Amino acid sequence: MPNIRLVAVDEDGTFLRDHVHYDNERFSILFKRMQDLGIRFVVATGNQRYQVESLFSEYANRIGIVSASGAYVVDGGNEVFVAHASDEAVARMIDTCHEVKDVPFAFIGVRSTYIERGTDQAFFDDMALYSTRIEWVDDFRDVDDKIIMFSSLVDESRVKREIERFRQIVGDVMDVTGSGAGYFDVMCPGINKAVGLGHLLDRYGIEPEECVAFGDSDNDLEMLKFVGLGYAMQDAPENVKAAADDVAPSCTEDGVLQVLEDLLF
């Protein structure tokens, strides 16, 4: 068995079969094995912290969470790191959202996720899959929270175009990246999953080369390159596979669990 001290997994398209399900019985055996071996388990996702805690409720006080693609990091329920957008960036995004009517946005905060009334209900319902704390607001200017990420969903054929469009609009104060399946995120500058994971490694006294990570999207690229052993999922885009050291079976085949069983037993 290679020298592994930490396992980090993305959620959607990687660990979860369909946004909400995984083989808990199989994972519980692996989690106990990791505990016995002193291996940390981290969920590194673009999703909200509270969504992760709800899906991994029986493990939440024993795992690390890198949420909002690195902007909000929690260890065993304790806040470790928060990167929030500047007042200028928030104001710019509010103005942009009021001007650009064909791209819906959710403002992801520390306490909740916010969507402005008048936005399509289907977008709210989609975002609710990834944010268990979510609410309507009359105006984004009414939100009193630290905004850690802005997230949007468009037709997949538009993603690259919209990413470039928003880089032109807010690229001087925020980063813009794809997160898979038509989603793209506007992030605090320099923040990604590798940065968030790094805060946990410092806390645990673990080196990147002692870590294994799994991912499937552009927002996993930095993390896959950062760790000692990075796995892209079988149906990940080619650029994600190129960034990884190896390829795991798809999420529908429980690829993460398959690889971990091979690595840990």
Tell me the catalytic residues.
10
> Which residue is listed with tokens 């032109």?
168
C-alpha to C-alpha distance for 31 and 101, rounded to whole angstroms: 45
Distances (CA, A) of 88 to 70, 85, 200: 21, 8, 29
Rounded to an integer, what is the distance from CA 22 to the centroid of its chain? 17
Cα atoms in the Cβ-side hemisphere of radius 13 Å centred on 225: 12
Are 46 and 130 in contact by the 8 Å Cβ rule? The answer is: yes
Nearest residue to 183 (alpha-carbon basis) of 149, 225, 133, 231: 149
C-alpha to C-alpha distance for 152 and 23, rounded to whole angstroms: 29
Angle formed at CA 88 by CA 182 and CA 73, multiple of 5 degrees: 60
Q: What three-state secondary structure class fits 65? A: strand
Close Cβ partners of 238 (under 8 Å, ≥ 6 residues apart) = none
| Gyration radius (Cα) of the chain, Å | 18
Pairing of the two strands 106-109 and 147-153:
antiparallel
Are 7 and 263 in contact by the 8 Å Cβ rule? The answer is: no
